[in-house]
Structure 1
């Protein structure tokens, strides 16, 4: 029996590239997206594997519940949380409905799908979860002059990094592995749908991002940054986080004491 993978946001970009690569590797698939016609088109051109299409909007409770139900009941060997929306704008300019959509798709949905899938994966003693984040997750300290501010988007990606690292530690020794995938700018429809023309910006392909993710899993990486050559930079960032965490004291720091 073929291994079974579920991929969200599978109708284009990185999600589509994951689905293509996994089908080529012999995985049966559950592909999730908002556009039924694209899901059906993918299934039609991949008769070599079993492809189940699920049209669901992961910004809604109904969509999340439907896909979480599949994660909880199907013997998934791989869950790829890739669905996303951008809504690049400062918090004060971000409409409430778009803010909710972004948080639902990039924070709530991945959390609930992981929660649904991980129990069965632990019981079977194997499984992999890939959460697609982005390098903007590491940009919080950047000044406004360096890059546009997009607090909700960047914050949601940072959540996926921390969540994946902590979940990976929780699952150590269970046979279940977690990776957070952090590409930079990728040549997909993602930015075009936001009205952004990045055609003049050097970009990685979605296929390259997927190849990096799968190789990163072989290397045992929890954080996979396809465009970062010096992995020591990531290690240094995480060690600095741990140093700050470990340096806390129950006593008020001197700088906060009254003069």
Structure 2
């Protein structure tokens, strides 16, 4: 069976880098984006593989449903949930329409597209799902002075981390892998489209990020942080998570009891 990958947000940045790499590796592709002309440009540039383009806005129910239908009907070997928007601002200042767009693109879309695709992968006994999150998923404990507040954005990425970990456990033994890749700052259009100048900030290339993610799949990593040299730092986080989860009791903790 030919390798077939579906990549959302495939017209620029990380998504385009994934699509380019997968085409070079011989994958047929379903590429998803909002801009028809960019999708057409990619198709024209890759005659060596079969490329189907899907114009969809994943901030809308219609767009999500259209891509989910493809995920349910095509024999995908790889799904890359990459589409994203940033909308960096404190919650009190975040317009309701932008909050809705962010949650739809980074929570609802990957959830429903993955749900549509995973059944077929499980039946075929093979496949992989890559959810693109970010290191901001781990930034919740940061004090106010350390970084700008972006509660909704951080929360959506944390959702992808937890969902990917739990889904990986659900699919153990089925032949289907799940990964959440957590980049730091990557050199793409992502920030400039939000009016942010990141030129003075050290940035990883999108190609290196894709290399890390695909190598992480080979290594069996569920949480892949391509810019973190010491992977035991992540292991420490997850051990602490499980220790806290396992230490719960039906008794009220001593610190909450009145004297």
Output the CA distance in 2 between the equivalents of 1:128 and 1:135: 21
Output the CA distance in 1 between the equivalents of 2:89 and 2:201: 20
* 1:181-226 Cα deviation digits (max 9, x unpaired): 0000000000000000101111000000000000000000000000
What corresponds to 1:117 in structure 2? 117
What corresponds to 2:140 in structure 1? 140
> C-alpha root-mean-square deviation of aligned residues, in Å?
0.5
Q: How does 1:50-129 map to 2 (within 5 A)?
A: 50-129=50-129
What corresponds to 2:212 in structure 1? 212
- Confirm whether residue 188 of structure 1 aligns to residue 194 of structure 2: no
Q: How does 1:174-253 map to 2 (within 5 A)?
A: 174-253=174-253
* Residue 178 of structure 1: how far off its partner (Å): 0.1
What corresponds to 1:255 in structure 2? 255
* Residue 2 of structure 1: how far off its partner (Å): 2.2
Output the CA distance in 1 between the equivalents of 2:38 and 2:200: 28
* Residue 49 of structure 1: how far off its partner (Å): 0.1
- Confirm whether residue 153 of structure 1 aligns to residue 153 of structure 2: yes
Output the CA distance in 2 between the equivalents of 1:7 and 1:74: 13
Q: TM-score, normalised by structure 1?
A: 0.99
- Which ranges in structure 1 are unaligned for 5 or more consecutive residues? none
* Residue 258 of structure 1: how far off its partner (Å): 1.8
What corresponds to 2:25 in structure 1? 25
**Which secondary structure state, in structure 2, belongs to the residue aligned with residue 204 of structure 1?**
coil
* Residue 257 of structure 1: how far off its partner (Å): 1.1
Name the count of aligned residue pairs.
259
Output the CA distance in 2 between the equivalents of 1:99 and 1:76: 31
Output the CA distance in 1 between the equivalents of 2:132 and 2:154: 13
* Residue 13 of structure 1: how far off its partner (Å): 0.3
Output the CA distance in 1 between the equivalents of 2:25 and 2:192: 30
Output the CA distance in 2 between the equivalents of 1:255 and 1:223: 34
Output the CA distance in 2 between the equivalents of 1:81 and 1:164: 11
Output the CA distance in 2 between the equivalents of 1:86 and 1:257: 42
Output the CA distance in 1 between the equivalents of 2:83 and 2:203: 20
* Residue 156 of structure 1: how far off its partner (Å): 0.1
